[in-house]
Structure 1
């Protein structure tokens, strides 16, 4: 059970920095989308950025190298449970603790306001059975802009005991998505930009979106100037338009590689929609398989 809000602001966190049960995780990872045709997607660890400055007490959670599956054919896939639990215990997360996760920004060179790396780790923790998690609104950038304390001193927590059980219903596979295309009780949400959705970009092996899916851009839920998340009424209206808050429906979110989709999933959870899964392979997997249909246009 989550005893704390799913999204918290900087003031909320600042008031709790000395709480011995608090665990602060810096989940920064950097992603640069191609500017030109045939240019590769760039992705790298945020460990150097963490070392250059972070919120006091925070430890670095390396999503790219330590909390994803090194054997998977695609980047950033869910790791074996044993690997995840061992690392997260080492970071001090487990029974009797609560977690605040932040990152240092979404996409390199993008004004998008979304804690997508923080929400990815939050989703992985929920998937493995840990609930008391909050994501920091505005992340490290907002914290820094407000003149709050920053340190280069590495954080450290005592090793914890993690006893949660995996929840397979939070993860969707390619086969789940194929079935969802034929099931009116399941809503598929494409979390990418409208341009990606319509098939106007060359980001993935093939263009377009999964048939029956609707577009809710993960970057549409915040203000780039204030770094604040939109008010709950506005976010609710966005998801109500596509029927995603119907309690009788299941929602599967997807994006390019299962990162941005977790931000939409977190917001849906915040609004009370609990029946949400993330398609971990997303377009990286779907668009690489010629047997998986895609359509263009809106």
Structure 2
């Protein structure tokens, strides 16, 4: 089931598979697969998951013309104790430029197993001031099911230059999250599964959530069959159901700042304007004993 393109507030930020199939040869188009896999351990709070690159699956078969972006190894801060911490903005812009992202390019982002890896890259691009990127609705699953053009092997786009115009307000750290607790003007939104939100599953160390936060699991916002986003009316009802108001600032978080970007992307498409992502999320919060936590 496809989301009607006319529903999108920012239609340039989403493309359907038929559009991409018709534009594969556009000279200024850059297509990137963004897949990363998390292999959950659920028995060691010091190692909640093992990160596995999606490069092997990409090289086996991918959207024709696509290159691969390795989030952890190419776009994350190697000096951080957490897996996917954002680099400094100038550094991040340079890393994107090395992958072929330039001021005049048009980007299409997709991933496997859900759109959250693509939305993470999309949010990172926005944070350095780059707005000409779109999510392939349904990602690899829909493209493959429809028997669209694919290829195997590797591909790299030539390096270019990208001007950094940082938007630091798109990411926050633990201090800003702490300050937002009990602030009626802020909604803290957890994109993790309900068992992690409630505290039933202690994957990240201390079980539970940021106090006062509400829960809309990112995986609940896409169709399980073809990974397309749910109709925006349904998404709006879901956000309304947990009490998110348009006059609030929304701090999106999850385990490591990945799933949170899918919630943030859809809030953006619904016209919520004051949105940010807690970058290190529960990977940091649950392991810092000085920070408060709550469970059901």
Please say whether Structure 1 and Structure 2 have the same fold, judged by a TM-score greater than 0.5: yes
Aligned match of 1:267: 266
Q: What is the Cα deviation at residue 154 of structure 1? A: 2.8
CA contact (8 A) 2:42 2:49 kept: no
The Cα offsets for residues 44-95 of structure 1, whole Å up to 9 and x where unpaired, read as 1111111111111111111010100000011110012343222211222121
Matched, 1:101 2:112: no
Kindly indicate whether the alpha-carbon contact (under 8 Å) linking 1:190 and 1:255 is maintained by their aligned counterparts in 2.
yes
Report how far residue 152 of structure 1 moved: 1.4
Aligned positions of 1:188-199 closer than 5 A: 188-199=188-199
Q: Return the alpha-carbon distance in structure 2 between the equivalents of residues 37 and 94 of structure 1.
A: 41
Alpha-carbon offset, residue 99 of structure 1: 0.9
1:217 and 1:33 map into 2 onto residues whose CA distance is 17
Deviation at 1:3, TM superposition (A): 7.4
Q: What SS does structure 2 have at the residue aligned with 1:124?
A: helix
The reply on whether 1:201 has 2:201 as its aligned counterpart is yes
* Partner of residue 169, structure 1: 169
Q: Which moved more, 1:40-49 or 1:51-60?
A: 40-49
Q: 1:83-117: CA deviations, max 9, x gaps?
A: 32222112221211111101122xxxxxxxx3111
Measured in 2, the distance between the counterparts of 1:145 and 1:35 equals: 32
Change over 3 Å in CA distance of 1:146–1:158 after alignment to 2 = same
- Once residues 35 and 251 of structure 1 are traced to their aligned partners in structure 2, the CA distance between those partners, rounded to angstroms, is 28
Contact preservation (8 Å) 2:64, 2:150: yes
Structure 2 counterpart of 1:33, from 17, 34, 40? 40
Q: Give 3-state SS (helix, strand or coil) of 1:70's partner.
A: coil
Go from structure 1 to structure 2 and tell me whether the alpha carbon gap of 1:251 and 1:3 turns closer, same or farther (over 3 Å shift): closer
| Counterpart-to-counterpart distance in 1, 2:69 and 2:171 | 21
The 3 A distance-change label for structure 1 pair 3 and 35 is closer
Where does residue 127 of structure 1 map in the other structure? 127
Q: Distance in 2 between matches of 1:139 and 1:260?
A: 15
CA distances 1:263-290 after superposition (whole Å, capped 9, x unpaired): 1011111111121100001001001111
Q: Please report how far the alpha carbon of residue 245 of structure 1 lies from its aligned counterpart in structure 2 after TM superposition.
A: 4.6
Partner of 1:285: 284
Counting helix residues as a fraction of each chain, which structure ranks higher?
A: 2
1:215-234 counterparts in 2 under 5 A? 215-234=215-234
Pair 1:86 & 2:85 matched:
no
User: Is residue 20 of structure 1 aligned with residue 19 of structure 2?
Assistant: no
Alignment gaps of 5+ in structure 2: 1-8
Q: For residues 76 and 277 of structure 1, what CA distance do their matches in structure 2 show?
A: 16
- Is the Cα–Cα contact under 8 Å of residues 110 and 139 in structure 2 kept in the other structure? yes
Structure 2 length-normalised TM: 0.92
Matched length: 287
Which ranges of structure 1 fall in alignment gaps of 5 or more residues?
A: 106-113
2:63 maps to 55
- For 1:40 and 1:244, locate their aligned partners in 2 and report how far apart those are by CA, in whole Å: 29
Q: CA contact under 8 A between 2:180 and 2:186: conserved in structure 1?
A: yes
Give the superposition deviation at 1:161.
2.1
* C-alpha deviation, 1:229, in angstroms: 1.5
Cα distance in structure 1, aligned partners of 2:221 and 2:196: 17
Residue 8 of structure 1 and its aligned partner are, at CA, apart by 2.0
Quote the Cα distance in structure 1 between the aligned partners of 2:111 and 2:220.
18
Which consecutive segments of 4 or more residues in structure 1 shift more than 6 A? none
Deviation of the 1:139 alpha carbon: 1.0
SS at match of 2:63: coil
SS in 1 for 2:252: strand
For residue 235 of structure 1, report the CA deviation from its aligned partner.
0.5
The answer to whether the Cα contact below 8 Å between 2:43 and 2:203 also exists between their aligned partners in 1 is no
